[in-house]
Structure 1
């Protein structure tokens, strides 16, 4: 199976368990790997025959902006749900990072892998 990657997508979302986290949207990073069939696009060189990664990024951004989840796990799951609803993806792995949230760590992240329901 072919793959499309989007790495280091910067988003913001109101997310967090603690009151101090919920005062303003927090910066997040998304790394996404989508399993899909790219053979037609490779032959036609036409964007309509592939998954438009700009539209994928816009979709993930919409989910992040509208959400108010407490947990990264819940937001990552909602992002994957939107991905499967909107695009012809067979499987996807999404890593959602919340940088600089712990004083002694550069990053905290969750990674979810899901197949088409």
Structure 2
């Protein structure tokens, strides 16, 4: 059975970016996370210990977003590493991080960076 946990459109205000004003002003970010794991046992047991606790995943994302980085790639790398270390049952992680108002000319919904990682269990 293929199973996924998806956290959608987590909105966080943070201070990432290369430009000095980004460290002062900050920006709105949207994070999406997709995690694959075998959750069949949880579907039968109704026990939180048999699944990936998505509240804890959400907490990891919030903790890592507080730590300022110049690059979104660096933020995503930290999020993936921490999730992978805390939840060894995960076999695949996809994180998409969007800066909603990048300091660039032109109207847009934002700029996103997305990483996908297959994890050998």
So what's the TM-score if we normalise by structure 1?
Answer: 0.91
Aligned to 1:115: 118
Match of residue 83 from structure 1: 83
SS in 2 for 1:100: coil
Shift of residue 28 of structure 1? 1.2
Tell me if structure 1 keeps the 8 A contact 2:27–2:100: no
Matched with 2:73 is 73
What's the counterpart of residue 54 of structure 1? Answer: 55
- Aligned position for 1:42: 43
Q: Gaps (5+ residues) in structure 2?
A: none
Q: TM-score, normalised by structure 2?
A: 0.88
Contact 1:60 1:82 in 2 (8 A): no
| Offset, 1:12 | 2.9
Which whole-Å CA distance do the structure 2 matches of 1:29 and 1:8 have between them? 5
Q: After TM superposition, which residue ranges in structure 1, 4 or more long, deviate above 4 angstroms? A: none
Aligned length: 116
